[in-house]
Structure 1
Amino acid sequence: MAREWLLAVDLGTTWTKAAYTTADSTDPVLVRVPATQLAWFPTAVARSSDGRWLVGDAAQARRTSRPDWCWSEVKRELGQHEPRMLGGHPFGPVEAVTQPLLYAARQARRQAGRGFDRLTLSAPVIFSDEQRAVLVEAGENAGFAPDTITIVDEGAAAARSVLGPRPEDGTWVVADIGGGTFDAALVTADRGVAAVIDQVGDDRAGAHAIDTAIVARLRERYQIDDGDGEAGRRRAGYLRDAARMLREQLAEQRSADVFLPDLLLELTLTPAQLGELVEPVLAPAIEHCAAMLARNDLGWEKINALVLSGGASRDPAVRARLAPLAALRDAANPELAVVLGLTVPAEAPSRTILSLRY
């Protein structure tokens, strides 16, 4: 039987990534955005003045002038039925979330020079059957038949790509901490073969929740009100951007500051303040992990290591909170672990991609 061409799309809360494998090789090829050559683009959509869909960076640019015409982090509203007004017209979540998939598929076809036989999508472990059905529907809208679409839990996908071609025998917790969710897989390895035996997830323990906590702290500290109408929506967008930039600066340096243009304010954040905000965000996810271990007659002391993936796993405040639990190990490419894992066949869960550069 001939091998199939596979397209894998990690539709994240903040960023979407895609990769593919060919009939001749199972080595993944990252799909890159032509304008930036990056292997990811914002999971955001918007409507243009002439009624076209804008995706990724183009949608984010639209938010600057018309925030009410832009829909960021569309994944968070999958499974809801309330439409959103964009450019004076109502659109449901499935129609909006189809656009990043279409964009990724078009870029992949352009890069590969042909179409794909199968589509694999990621989903948080906590997604309901209804939310997964919406993902399948979006995949159909992107041109794939239902029987060619596979959905893989994000924690399991990350585990497929991070533990090595012949993982050391033992027990591991692989945690993917992304923009919107915290997904963890309990993995055992025996004689070089790894298997996922349990999973948990939390949709309030990703970078989005941390940024929300930072925004609340900024509003309180600098007495920033919401504002009204479009001006208020624009300010809310500025504040969320400022929170993300402050958090990302603290991943590289010991202090962070961002200028808020519409209020002429210089906003600051220290590592200690960020640590205070991270603690309550991560606490429920850590409890879920402890419960997962307990129901498998395990504790943190019996874990070889806590393996981290996802963009938020780089944050020092996040790492500091997780370090007391178990020895920490990092995925080779934390931001890409899930999409790379989606390209690994389920029957080969221990394959890894360590040398891929981005």
Structure 2
Amino acid sequence: MIVGIDLGTTNSLVAVWKDDASVLVPNALGELLTPSVVGLDDEGRILVGQAARERLHTHPSLTTALFKRHMGSAHQTALGNHVFRPEELSALVLRSLKEDVERAYGETVVEAVISVPAYFSDAQRKATRIAGELAGLKVDKLINEPTAAALAFGLPQHGKECSFLVFDLGGGTFDVSILELFEGVMEVRASAGDNFLGGEDFDRLLAEAFVRSQADQPGFPAPESIAHALHREAQRLRIALGQVRSDEFVLRVDGQQWQQTFTQADMAALYAPLLERLRNPVERAMRDAKLQIGDLDEILMVGGTTRMPLVRKLAAGLFGRFPSIQLNPDEAVAHGAAIQAALKSRDAALEEVVLTDVCSYTLGIEVSQQHGQHRENGHYLPIIERNTTVPVSRVKTVCSAEEGQAAVKVCIFQGESRLVRDNIPLGELEIPLPPHNKGNVDLDVRFTYDNNGILECQVTIPKTGEQFALVIENNPGVLSPKEIAERLQALAVLKVHPRDQQVNTLLMARLEHLYQESLGERRELIGDWASQFQRALDSQDERIIRQTRTELNERLGQLERGGWH
């Protein structure tokens, strides 16, 4: 069985293709969204999803989130006595989604199409594939998130001709893609984006503004010690201010409380720098696609952060019209990934849909430039430029810098900057030159980039016909095959929290979190409820546990709505 997965910074989803339609699969708690949060419970077992997220504030040393932002790097996170790389944390989320599908359909999931931000680098894409491998999934195909959303939108339009822009602002990344649909072909014309711009950045700015407003208040704790509490309240307030003119940022720690009022006008001023950063990728994509705003038939908003009124207002101003709201911004990418999975498995209902994509970054080599008697090293020579349709093969001819040179080192980079020091190194190839050569030796450097994001560099010396090749499969910070095997073995021995206990763990984590946030009689009441539920669990009587859980969930719902006295 092959599935489509939206592996998100904040939340993840999984979908399958059944009865000629994509279907989202709920997790063990009955929810479609699984928070991309991983932690350890009090017995050292792995927790994934909502139960882990509830413990971010109460058990910060045992819980982590936002690890997608470190994909493709050597960053490590310590949870208790364990140390995890971003690929491993992502693998635990993927494994949980895989088990959700297997539980729902009784089939073994062996393969997945996983979505990635269109602006993910080569290293980040490879790390995502490795995460799938660590989760026990074959991942032959990655799909760019905006392209997946476009598939979810474009499939019902099959047979029509249209051009549309996907504006994808999620929890951690921002992507823009421009696509055309014609005669059963969906072609990506251009992509641009920012891998460090999303809802989390809006929340960080709001939390920092609150800390500045309270810094002089007596007893205010160090921000790093309450980071998760600040983030959670900032996220709540950002969403609330999409509906009301003003609201309170409230922080409760160890029986003390601090608060500050924020208005929609405050938010507009605070978020202005981030909103401005949304403009550049849109303008770059439009330029690269050689299109005018009027050429676009639809503007699609994808990603939960696009629900912010300020973001929708910006989009309306940029495009001179209100964007389409046909798609659920949280679910569109997962639906598109499932469609791509069906295309890959050659489902009969989708035989005529052809999808093309582009290389999101420029790929090139380091060269030197001669200025009179002075030579400058470190310049960038693009060979495959960004937004070139893939698969693609391009060649450029360069020459050795000095007469009689014994060898040339071809250094390969990814990026858009004029100097290679500002781009990302991908690899290098040492080329021995013919002995006793007179004059400079020409070299034909060919880059071939395929649909799966694999780059091959081939260097030919026309004078001798010799060829040298390098396939870029590993990057600094990306696990080697040997390291993958070691990590697989380490993950295999980890104990995972039982799925059938997740509803109980979630409720206890929720009670503990609310207890820490509350004061006075409310705090005492929640403490009594937590004790009541613990006694029910200790009874090991499933009927008593279920009945108590139902009652307490109802009471907590009333309490959070302000209806409990």
Structure 2-normalised TM-score? 0.57
How far the C-alpha of 1:349 sits from its partner, in A, is 6.3
1:180 aligns with 2:172: yes
State how far apart, in whole Å, the 2-side matches of 1:174 and 1:312 are: 14
Alignment deviations for residues 227-268 of structure 1 (CA, whole Å, 9 cap, x no partner) = 45xxx5441111111110011112222222242112512233
How far the C-alpha of 1:269 sits from its partner, in A, is 2.0
1:311 aligns with 2:307: no
Task: Tell me the amino acid that sits aligned with residue 55 of structure 2.
Answer: R
Aligned residue in 1 for 2:244: 253
Task: Tell me the amino acid that sits aligned with residue 14 of structure 1.
Answer: T
State how far apart, in whole Å, the 1-side matches of 2:229 and 2:57 are: 9
Aligned residue in 1 for 2:337: 342
2:64 counterpart (71, 75, 85): 71
Aligned residue in 2 for 1:353: none
Aligned residue in 2 for 1:6: 2
Aligned residue in 1 for 2:453: none
Aligned residue in 2 for 1:295: 288
State how far apart, in whole Å, the 1-side matches of 2:295 and 2:24 are: 36
What secondary structure, in the 3-state scheme, does the structure 2 residue paired with 1:90 have?
strand
State how far apart, in whole Å, the 1-side matches of 2:288 and 2:7 are: 30
Which structure has greater strand proportion? 2
Task: Tell me the amino acid that sits aligned with residue 338 of structure 1.
Answer: V
Rate the CA distance shift 1:284–1:63 in 2: closer, same or farther, 3 A. closer
Question: Root-mean-square deviation (CA), in Å?
Answer: 2.2
Rate the CA distance shift 1:176–1:118 in 2: closer, same or farther, 3 A. same
State how far apart, in whole Å, the 1-side matches of 2:192 and 2:280 are: 10
Aligned residue in 1 for 2:208: 216
Aligned residue runs from structure 1 range 119-268, under 5 A: 119-145=112-138, 148-163=139-154, 165-166=156-157, 169-190=161-182, 194-223=186-215, 227-228=221-222, 232-262=223-253, 263-268=256-261
1:285 counterpart (244, 257, 278): 278
What secondary structure, in the 3-state scheme, does the structure 1 residue paired with 2:301 have?
strand
Rate the CA distance shift 1:163–1:221 in 2: closer, same or farther, 3 A. farther
What secondary structure, in the 3-state scheme, does the structure 2 residue paired with 1:38 have?
coil
Task: Tell me the amino acid that sits aligned with residue 327 of structure 2.
Answer: A
Task: Tell me the amino acid that sits aligned with residue 205 of structure 1.
Answer: L
Aligned residue runs from structure 1 range 32-71, under 5 A: 32-35=26-29, 37-71=30-64
How far the C-alpha of 1:316 sits from its partner, in A, is 0.5
How far the C-alpha of 1:85 sits from its partner, in A, is 1.5
1:26 aligns with 2:20: yes
Count of residue correspondences = 338
- Kept after mapping to 2: 8 A contact 1:49/1:87: no
State how far apart, in whole Å, the 2-side matches of 1:273 and 1:85 are: 37
What secondary structure, in the 3-state scheme, does the structure 2 residue paired with 1:248 have?
helix
Alignment deviations for residues 57-94 of structure 1 (CA, whole Å, 9 cap, x no partner) = 12123323220111111211111213221103322222
Gaps of 5+ in 2: 344-351, 356-565
Alignment deviations for residues 93-143 of structure 1 (CA, whole Å, 9 cap, x no partner) = 222111100111011110111112420101111212221111111111221
Task: Tell me the amino acid that sits aligned with residue 236 of structure 1.
Answer: A
Task: Tell me the amino acid that sits aligned with residue 334 of structure 1.
Answer: P
How far the C-alpha of 1:314 sits from its partner, in A, is 1.0
Rate the CA distance shift 1:95–1:83 in 2: closer, same or farther, 3 A. same
Task: Tell me the amino acid that sits aligned with residue 339 of structure 2.
Answer: V
- Kept after mapping to 1: 8 A contact 2:148/2:333: yes
Aligned residue runs from structure 1 range 93-112, under 5 A: 93-112=86-105
What secondary structure, in the 3-state scheme, does the structure 1 residue paired with 2:38 have?
strand
- Kept after mapping to 1: 8 A contact 2:190/2:288: no
State how far apart, in whole Å, the 1-side matches of 2:278 and 2:149 are: 17
- Larger radius of gyration, structure 1 or 2? 2
| Structure with greater contact order relative to length (CA < 8 Å, sep ≥ 6) | 1
- Kept after mapping to 1: 8 A contact 2:177/2:285: no
Q: Which moved more, 1:94-103 or 1:148-157?
A: 148-157
